[in-house]
Amino acid sequence: MAIYFEMVSDEEIKREREKARRLRRSHWWNSRIEKGICHYCNHQVGRENLTMDHVVPLVRGGKSKKGNLVPACKECNNRKKSLLPVEWEEYLEASAHFNL
């Protein structure tokens, strides 16, 4: 799998992280995590165990906007790292083949 990285400045990443911090304190985010379900694995982990994940990661040019933010359990968020959605799907498919 070839991975493409867009050049994103440290300043831009810092700005986007600050936007994410503000959104994390919003009513919108609280309603997103209310059920405590991870966007990726669909496991109920409880709202306190959810993290905010950028579907398109900041280092790949993603933004801290409502359409790019999902609740993810710590395990999924750590495994996904800076993968784009299509790369994440490929990773999951490859992992499933090894866990038969």
What pLDDT is stored for residue 95 in this prediction?
84
Tokens of 27: 């009513």
Q: How far from chain centre, in Å, is Cα 61?
A: 13
The Cα–Cα gap between 37 and 90 comes to 22
96 pLDDT band (50/70/90 cuts)?
confident
Question: pTM for the full model?
Answer: 0.85
What pLDDT is stored for residue 99 in this prediction?
61
At 35, phi and psi to the nearest 5? -80, -15
What pLDDT is stored for residue 47 in this prediction?
96
Under CATH, which architecture does the 10-98 domain have? Answer: Orthogonal Bundle (1.10)
Residue 86 has pLDDT above 80, yes or no: yes
What pLDDT is stored for residue 7 in this prediction?
79
pLDDT digits (tens, 9 = 90+) for 12-63: 999 999 999 999 999 999 999 999 999 999 999 999 999 999 999 999 999 9
Residue 98 has pLDDT above 90, yes or no: no
Provide the residue ranges of all domains of the chain, joining segments of one domain with +: 10-98
